[in-house]
Structure 1
């Protein structure tokens, strides 16, 4: 079955839109993809058994696309687009969707930004008109910039009061240093406070272009109707531009350099210490990503994982302990988190390092391999049980991978992961020098070296 990547760049003769069937999923519905003349892409999955529709506008820009002085502008812009357009005030936007029982929201990541709405199927035309309006035609009023500046500064302060969240950002800084991947998505008080409306507007117009945007919808819908409504909503806006090809996948950044492994300690008088031990991982297009999913499940992906069993169940040293991985276009991050009493940090870190070294040296057992694969497959399928997750699957497949793997093929890729593949990855990944991030009642000299 052809994937979305098989028709990338097609815009049709004389600038006409081109539509292809991408996938027909027995667990869902038919997936179709249309490339508009402007280069904007529309993907839908028709699921007639649903009475709702999730509609999302995904922009291929995130915090890693910002310069140092711009840090946080993507997230700032995400806030501002809900503040009003030439047709609607902020109240008009929220009231229109809430009046039909729907919901809207948005989020910014390091590589993309998403704006979405979930409504009853009969209200999809309204959702498309509202969401396309706010993304394509925001006015970015000066008064709204000042209002949202205060909101974002409060959000940053609130984040600083959540040590369990802050510690993961500290690890990213420890691993990636001054590279944009090491920065806070929200920016900092030092970058947000002086940021001008002109800077934000310039970023908006340069980055929010039709070829860089993917629109995805899933639920009880008709593809041709969604495409028609999108074209109507965008007619006459900056996203209804000259014929263009869709933007290519984000290229690998040869400037990504990781810092020398070390420790970053944030002193806070907390009752619980938060620690994360991690290292550079693999990029999302790396063929080993399926083996990584299995390995992560074995190490710290659930209550039956090695780390949970050893640190929480057998020794009672931590309430929360888990491993995770993040993948970007050209690199990644693998890490282990634990929250424990400050006096137990050294013992917890010793056990984590010992478990990672054990798996790196001797690999996983057959039983662990089977369990890790079962968890991965179950997670993939269970995460597709609502229209929102299916909408996200369409957009991420197009925006991040250039293809949409059918669910059956995805499960087959997990099934095909061998013990040799997992063990080879473990020997490589888990033997890498580790950086350490700690938030708690400690000083910088309490953790002089990672490793």
Structure 2
């Protein structure tokens, strides 16, 4: 393939060769079900995912936490299979199965040998279409989820991350926690979760992606057969659900500083600003910026904060992107008494990059790091399966390794500097968990100046 391949929602069949001679095929059934495969030469296993484009951001008042709650419940049994039956089906063949709830989608997935594809399709289809949401199991799983939230609340890094998203994103739905809060889980009713289930798990919502040793026609037949057996009406026409708007939303900062005081030996510190949407043309430049600034042991943050000053063990930058918003952030774990100093150093390094740019050697290292990491990641069918899901649900296009490397080669040092200047011009938020107070950051943040983007 040359360039990205678009995934139009109204195109029923699509087929092309991608980098490494993998074969990508896509079918949209009349009912709106989308099936996308990547057949990888030499594979003996595959990863299959059942996706619905509903995540925590889509929940309405009274349903907060329902998406994650439902993810748990779909493993608890159907009319055909108990929870134990579902577990045995995969354990008996040495397979793996799990699920993930994210802010913009939910995915139920399995990894099996190629010979076990039909079993995986049958079990995952049964879970997706025919969950009982048994009242007794509902109450049991409520306790499990509350324990999961309690475990997360005992992890200061998790707490800091949740506070960070709230601080940066403000009232935007992306700022809400994926798993809900203990009070919303205690208040959740089976009727509310059932309503959420029936509203979002329909043929036009479903995307099935498989990567590895897969025959597309065999998969389409298996998925169609299993959905019909489950009672879904595949003969009734329905257009696939539309993708979310890629227009950047207006983000109103939640709060500049959010501190959770806990008597810990280390402070977990996050600093950042609203970033780029997933489809922004500058996403590749953002990857280069993140690599140079805080993406490895040779990065500026690692060298300055850890190697030169010994102020932290873990320090890095990150930049997740969603359909209409994103975040650019920095993390460090440090002694509470040094939190203000570490914050100042990280902000100074970002300002220095925005004002003076990056070197040719840094650009070369970033290119090598990103291209190598991309190639190595694609050795795993899980990564390829997830790439198909994100291509279908979020981006509306497929980008193979060759196209990704071509785009990477087009990024210039000026692109990176201009993007850094854009980031430092945005309102910073700080979130921290540890033995410190909010005023620990006041002096640092008040001294920040905004450099002008280079001409």
Common fold by TM > 0.5:
yes
1:145-182 Cα deviation digits (max 9, x unpaired):
10110000011110011101221111101011232211
The change in CA–CA distance for 1:447 and 1:421 in structure 2 (over 3 A counts) is closer
In structure 1, how many angstroms separate the alpha carbons of the residues matched to 2:390 and 2:304? 35
> Are 2:35 and 1:42 equivalent residues in the alignment?
yes
Give SS of 1:154's match.
Answer: helix
Tell me by how many angstroms 1:28 deviates: 5.3
In structure 2, how many angstroms separate the alpha carbons of the residues matched to 1:313 and 1:86? 58
In structure 2, how many angstroms separate the alpha carbons of the residues matched to 1:28 and 1:106? 29
The change in CA–CA distance for 1:439 and 1:433 in structure 2 (over 3 A counts) is same
Deviates more, 1:87-96 or 1:245-254: 245-254
Which residue pairs with 2:393 in the alignment?
399
Unaligned segments of structure 1, at least 5 residues? 11-17
Check conservation: 2:68, 2:101, Cα contact below 8 A.
yes
In structure 2, how many angstroms separate the alpha carbons of the residues matched to 1:408 and 1:240? 40
Check conservation: 2:7, 2:398, Cα contact below 8 A.
no
Question: Which of residues 191, 198, 208 in structure 2 aligns to 1:215?
Answer: 208
Cα RMSD of the aligned pairs, angstroms, is 1.6
1:231-270 Cα deviation digits (max 9, x unpaired):
0110054644421122221125776532255100001111
Deviates more, 1:150-159 or 1:364-373: 364-373
Which residue pairs with 1:437 in the alignment?
431
Give SS of 2:281's match.
Answer: coil
Which residue pairs with 1:5 in the alignment?
6
Question: Which of residues 78, 103, 122 in structure 1 aligns to 2:71?
Answer: 78
Check conservation: 1:52, 1:121, Cα contact below 8 A.
yes
> Are 2:339 and 1:345 equivalent residues in the alignment?
yes
Give SS of 1:70's match.
Answer: coil
1:281-307 Cα deviation digits (max 9, x unpaired):
010111000000000000000000000
Check conservation: 2:28, 2:35, Cα contact below 8 A.
yes
Check conservation: 2:170, 2:255, Cα contact below 8 A.
no
Which residue pairs with 1:426 in the alignment?
420
Question: Which of residues 166, 172, 195 in structure 2 aligns to 1:173?
Answer: 166
Which residue pairs with 1:315 in the alignment?
309
In structure 1, how many angstroms separate the alpha carbons of the residues matched to 2:5 and 2:223? 19
Unaligned segments of structure 2, at least 5 residues? 449-455
Which residue pairs with 2:129 in the alignment?
136
Check conservation: 1:4, 1:33, Cα contact below 8 A.
no
Which residue pairs with 2:451 in the alignment?
none
> Are 2:81 and 1:88 equivalent residues in the alignment?
yes
Give SS of 1:215's match.
Answer: strand
> Are 2:199 and 1:206 equivalent residues in the alignment?
yes
Which residue pairs with 1:15 in the alignment?
none
Check conservation: 1:357, 1:431, Cα contact below 8 A.
no
Which residue pairs with 1:109 in the alignment?
102
The change in CA–CA distance for 1:205 and 1:293 in structure 2 (over 3 A counts) is same
Check conservation: 1:5, 1:398, Cα contact below 8 A.
no
Check conservation: 2:21, 2:41, Cα contact below 8 A.
no
Check conservation: 1:48, 1:221, Cα contact below 8 A.
no
Scaled by the length of structure 1, the TM-score of the pair is 0.95
1:76-110 Cα deviation digits (max 9, x unpaired):
00000010111111011110111111110000000
In structure 2, how many angstroms separate the alpha carbons of the residues matched to 1:278 and 1:26? 35
Count of matched residue pairs = 443
Question: Which of residues 335, 348, 353 in structure 2 aligns to 1:359?
Answer: 353
Tell me by how many angstroms 1:410 deviates: 1.2
Deviates more, 1:312-321 or 1:423-432: 423-432
Trace 1:5-404 onto structure 2 (pairs within 5 A): 5-10=6-11, 18-21=12-15, 23-27=16-20, 29-237=22-230, 239-241=232-234, 242-252=236-246, 256-259=250-253, 261-404=255-398
Deviates more, 1:243-252 or 1:192-201: 243-252
In structure 1, how many angstroms separate the alpha carbons of the residues matched to 2:400 and 2:273? 31
In structure 2, how many angstroms separate the alpha carbons of the residues matched to 1:62 and 1:156? 17
